[in-house]
Structure 1
Amino acid sequence: MTSIADAAQQFLSHRRIAVTGVSRNPEGHGSNAVYVRLRERGFEPFAINPNAESVEGDPAYPSLSAVPGGVEAVVIGTSPQHAMATVEEAAALGITDIWMHRSFGAGSVDEPAATWGRAKGMTVIAGGCPLMFGDASDGGHRFMCSVMKLTGKVPREV
């Protein structure tokens, strides 16, 4: 087992990060907040949305494999039923770092997809948000992280 802090640091050591579920209508979409913050903090995020040509003023891509030059890590921000397909595509592309976003409610966490990815040697963070850690974080997200660790929404170990 790896601590969440170490797993988050590993994840955020990547610069080219795909974010699935980024919407053309950003209000209330956690994926959009993650995407924009990563961009603002110097990461090179790629929006994955098969139903949009652009989001947040940037190109959107229909799949991980459609991103020119590929990505190094993936934030899953879609509904949980889409997580397995994303983890399988990431594995096929050799991407080993996955973050299933969850702030409140179920979020994007799909335990069978997380288990499958881990069995394939992937690091899968099932819960929380990359904006709670490292260069991507802010005070509000760090506070939420502390509270959500108590409720189990942010895993202590991966």
Structure 2
Amino acid sequence: MPFENPSRDEIKTLLASAGPIAVVGLSDNPERVSHMVSAAMKSRGYEIIPVNPNADVILGGKSYASLSDIPGNVDIVNVFRRSDQVVPIAEEAVRKGAKVLWLQQGVYNEEAAEIAQRGGLKVVMDRCIKVEDAILNPRGN
């Protein structure tokens, strides 16, 4: 059965109930899309946890080398990596106990989705979290 993203109502619920969002591939370069999207989400009140082994601090938060290095829980794992690199991230998201694996616009991997779903995670692929939040929660409420 081919993959289908959750309905817009389900996505709205996932975002409304989201605690910490770990952003894998978050760049410390303000000109990169991952940085712009994460900055916008942070400005809308979301807790952003950077995951980038090559940076110490991004958007004012400590950057971690991997999901496993993050102390405490993570609700959403938001991925800015190439489609062929996300299977290990899906496996790590399951081990971390995340609730959602979110692959950003342009990122699609059915194997990663199956791994995450088997591990109990909801999966969103090939959608921008910032765009979805702006559509489903236009005033940031």
Same topology, TM > 0.5: yes
The TM-score normalised by the length of structure 1 is 0.74
1:21 alignment counterpart: 25
| Matched AA of 1:116 | I
Q: Please report the RMSD computed on the Cα atoms of aligned residues, expressed in angstroms.
A: 2.2
Alpha-carbon separation, structure 2, partners of 1:14 and 1:79 = 24
Count of residue pairs the alignment pairs up: 133
Taking a change above 3 Å as real, the CA distance of residues 3 and 86 of structure 1, as seen in their structure-2 partners, is closer
Correspondence 1:137 to 2:134: yes
User: In 2 relative to 1, CA 125–111 (structure 1 residues): closer, same or farther, beyond 3 Å?
Assistant: same
**Take 1:34 and 1:126, find their aligned partners in 2: how far apart are those partners?**
16
* Mapped partners of 1:26, 1:84: distance in 2: 27
Identity %, equivalent residues:
31
Tell me which residue corresponds to 2:118: 119
> Residues 35, 2 of structure 1: CA spacing in aligned structure 2 closer, same or farther, 3 A cutoff?
closer
Work out which of the residue numbers 54, 72, 88 in structure 2 matches 1:85. 88
In the TM superposition, 1:63-78 aligns within 5 A as: 63-78=66-81
Structure 1: segments with no counterpart, 5+ residues = 143-158
Q: Which runs of 4+ in 1 moved over 4 A?
A: none
Gaps (5+ residues) in structure 2?
A: none
Q: Which amino acid aligns with 1:58?
A: G
CA-to-partner distance for each residue in 1:88-141, whole Å, 9 max, x for gaps? 011012112111001xxxx222221112222333211111111123xx316xxx
Q: Equivalent residue of 1:121, what SS? A: coil
TM-score, normalising length: structure 2 = 0.81
Change (3 A) 1:2 1:48: closer
Give CA-to-partner distance per residue, 1:35-80, whole Å, 9 cap, x none. 1111101111101101211223432111112223231111111122
Provide the secondary structure at the position in 1 that maps to 2:85.
Answer: helix
